[in-house]
Each structure stands twice: as structure tokens, then as C-alpha cells.
Structure 1
Amino acid sequence: MKKTFFIVTLMLVFTTISFAQKNNINGYKYILVPNQYEFQKSKDAYQVNSLTKFLFNRAGFTVFMTDDKIPAEMANNACMALKAIVVNNSGLLSTKMQIKLVDCYNNIVYLTDEVSSREKDYKKAYHEAIREAFEEIENLNYSYQSATPVKEELKTVEKELQKPIVKEVVEAIDNIQEVKIIEEKKLVEEKLEKAKVEDKIEKKKKTIKPLQEEIKEIEIKPILTIEGNYEVEKWGSCKISKSEEGYAFTAGDENFEFAVVYPTSKSTIFIIKYAAYKQPQMLELSADGNLKVDSPTGIKTYKRVR
């Protein structure tokens, strides 16, 4: 019984220390910055990784790249460090980024708000977004605070266990209820196992539905295609239809072809080439079925005619 009480107390100590460190970045001594993120084609592309390291250093962190020589204590205990991940949520028209800090178990310890940049140059856009996201991290006022050593916590627990009153109670329980505790433990384990089985059965009942109900819940969504009629400024009601080159954009009763639309590797992204202009332009098929054209004067929208 004394061993059981001691083990439970130790578990509580470890859990408390681990929880406190996980939810406070001040409990982590190092930051590890990868040499290359998923959205990059090469190491430190656009100097994203070196900028991230510089900004963490400026904010008071001790930072290493993944190919740097790291301290022995960090090598022996990877959980002393947080990995800094630049998350790229960019779309067609803007650069969107976040900075995420994860621990050695890949749990998210901190995640900044998403920030965006309208810069068309990738390097300028990435740097602008990362610097803006970093303002949130700098406001955390990081200062490393070593967690209370586990040995000190264990000494405190050991002292408490050595108190006379505790020893007397433990010995009394061991002598009187040793057999009863074993039997009760066995009974509790059986009840817990039975409860788990019953809980699984109940969950299965709730998730299993008759086939007819499942069919009713299926929503048949139409396949979105670029072909159709659109309202285009100056031309009025126009039509996009399949052609040998890609898609023909026609207008008027005579079906005058004023532009050709070429598909790309992405199902919603196209290239449009107007007969009156030499420079082709980017065209996006949005979720609502409308067309968005990235023209020199800004984004133009051609609404689908239902």
C-alpha cells in the first residue's frame, strides 16, 4: 500500500511539471528552425528560414538551425526545445502565413494569428508576413525559466511520506485491509472492463444507421465546370464552351470568339487570352461558379448566368 501511494504521488508530480512546461513557452530553453519548410523547393528559399532564426534571436530566444551543432543538454533532451514552423496558407491573390511552435511530441504550444501580404514578389511577401506575425511573439516577452528540478520535488514528497502520522496510517491499512484491497481492486477492474465494453456497444448503436437513412443524407453536389453562360462587361451575356484549343469565350448572336481559355494543372485555375490583347491573364473559377480575372487594373468578376 505504501508503494502504491508513493507511485501515485510521483505520477502527480511528473504530470504537474510536464503540464506547466507545455503551456508556457518560458519553460523551453531552445528554438529549433528547420532548414527547409514544406512549401519551399530548396533550403532557406527566399531566406525564410534565416529570417525566422534572426527574429527569434532578436526576441531573446536561443536558436539553432537543424544542421547547426547543438548543446549536449539539448541533444540528450529534445524536449527542452520548441520547433518553429512557418505555416503557408497562401492563395492565388495573397500570401497568408502563421508561425507555429510545437514541442517534442508535436503538440502545438503556441500558434500566431494568420497574417497576409498583397506583395506579388514572393520574397517581399514572405518577409512582410513573417515579420508581422512575429510582432505577436515579441509581445510574449519571452524569458527562459527553468522548471523546478524533479529531484527537489521527489525530496519534498519523500519527506512528507516519512512523517509519523502518515507511516502509522499506511501501516494500519496494510495490516488490516491488504486482502480486501486486492479483492476490491479485482472487482473494480472487472466493472471497468464491462463498462468499456458496454460503452463501445452504445457508441456502435449510435453510429450505425439504416441504409435508407444514409442514402437520404447523401447530398449530390453538381460537378463544377467552367462551361456555361456569364455576364461580361461590354459584351453582355457570353458563353464558354469546349473547343479544340481549350474553351472558346463567345458573345453575341454570331458567337464571336473574343477570347480563348486554356486549362492548367489545377481544375479551378485557367489562362485566358483575349483576341484584343497580347498579354494572357490568370482566371480562377470560384466555388460559387463565378470567374475572377487578374487583369492589369485589378480583379474583375464575371458572374455566371443561371
Structure 2
Amino acid sequence: MKKIFSLLLICCFGLLKVNSQTEVNSYKYIIVPLQYKFLKGENKYRLNTLTKQLFLKSGYEVYYDKQLFPADLFEDRCLAMYADVNEIDRGFRITNLEIELRDCKGELILKSDLGRSGINNHEKRFTTALRNAYDTFSDRLFYQETAKSTSTEEKVVDNKTSDKPLVKSAVALEVSTNSNKVVETKDTTEKEAEKTTEVTAVEKETVEEASGNEILYAQEVDNGYQLVNSEPKVVMVLLKTGLDDVFNVKGNDAIVFKKNGVWMYSENKENGVKLKPLNIKF
């Protein structure tokens, strides 16, 4: 009888774990706050930046809570999971952190185990504890495209506006990182035509940059790499983050990371996130 009861418990636990994993991977977006409640100031110890980078590696589209959102996410906040980090049982030179993912109603979807660090340096202790916490559930995090999060039109809107979204672009631009092919879908009205002309020109320029095939060669420097073109000219400097295949771009609010075997450049802009593929040779 005891063996049967134990077997039932194991089966139930396994089923719950599978359901939780299926649910977490049905979301396309993750929202990260710019400030955690247990710390003073935005992006203290760069924990919020690190959180975003970690989830980007798992294939999600990640936005800060005060950033511009795509139109589908603006109109339906339940397309995203909301990340948070908590400090548990603070001790002397010991930091314990856990990561939570909740839905738009505040219901818990997934929680990591405690990430622990006793490094003497404050910033290294917190970032190490966060990475350790992420590692406890990273194997269950990988975005799988589903009907729930599929959008036929990519529009960038401002999440600080009122109830009605202000569409910053009426042109959907889809860049294929494999073929560098640009697909353009137009959806303009007479009232919006005048407003969207400038935005369209900006987006086309971004796509032209993204579709370039220029080879950038990585040369190792202190704490990272510099990328040079064939001239040769230094295009940008990549700084190590402590994560494999994720770099901060020196002087820009941007990162370079590898997704599905392709190096991607992601930069925060006033009109949204600029994303383009890079052809880097290490």
C-alpha cells in the first residue's frame, strides 16, 4: 500500500511539472522590472540587465516594464510572464535569491530554487546568486511558438499611454535571420498616413541595416572583443557579461547575443527595440 501511495505521489508531481513546463513555454514575452523591491535604485548591481539577458538566452522576447511594447502585448498584457527576484534569508555576506514568473493576474507560474553566493564583493555576490537561481530552472525555459502568442502584425506602441494604444508604426517588417529576406505588410488609413510616413522611413532604414551581409571580425581585447570590418575599422566593442554568447555593447544601451546559431544585435530605442542579425567571425 505504501509503495502504491508513493508511486501515485511521484506520478502527480511529474504531471504537475509537465503542465507547468508546458504553460511557461507557451508565453512569448517576459517583462522584467527596472527595480527590484529589495534593492534601492534602478538596475542595482545590474541585476535587472542580467535577468533580461538570461531570459533572452532561453528564446523569449524580453522587455523592461517601462519600455515600449509591441502592439499585441500592449493590447493584451496576458501574453507575457512577469519576472521578479526576491532576496530570502539575508545573512552576513551571504545572499540567497529566487526568481519568480507570474501571469498577468499575479498567479505564480514557475519559481526557481534558491541561488546562493558568499562572494565578498557585493555586485559579484548578487549576480552570482542570480545566475545560480536561474540555473535551477533554466532547463524548463524555452519559448515554443503557439497560437496564443502568434501575431500577424508587428507594431510598436508606447506602454505609458492611456487605454487606447498609440500605434507608432503601421508597417509590419519581418526580418528573416536565415535568408535576410524582408517581408513588408502595409496597413495604413487616410488619417494615419501623414503620421506614419516618417516612421516608415526610419523602419526601412533599420531593415536595410539588418539585411546587410558585412562580415565583422572579432579581435580579442581586455574583457571582450572589438569587431572590425574589412577596411579595417572598429565597428563596436563587445564586453563580456559572464554569460556564454551574451555581450554588452560598449557605449550603447544594447547587447549582442546568439539565438538559434545567429548573432543578434538588440538595442533599446525611443521608438522600440532595434534588432538585427550580425555576421561575426570569431
Normalised by the length of structure 1, the TM-score is 0.40
Higher strand share: 2
Higher helix share: 1
Normalised by the length of structure 2, the TM-score is 0.43
Which protein has the larger Cα radius of gyration, Structure 1 or Structure 2? 1
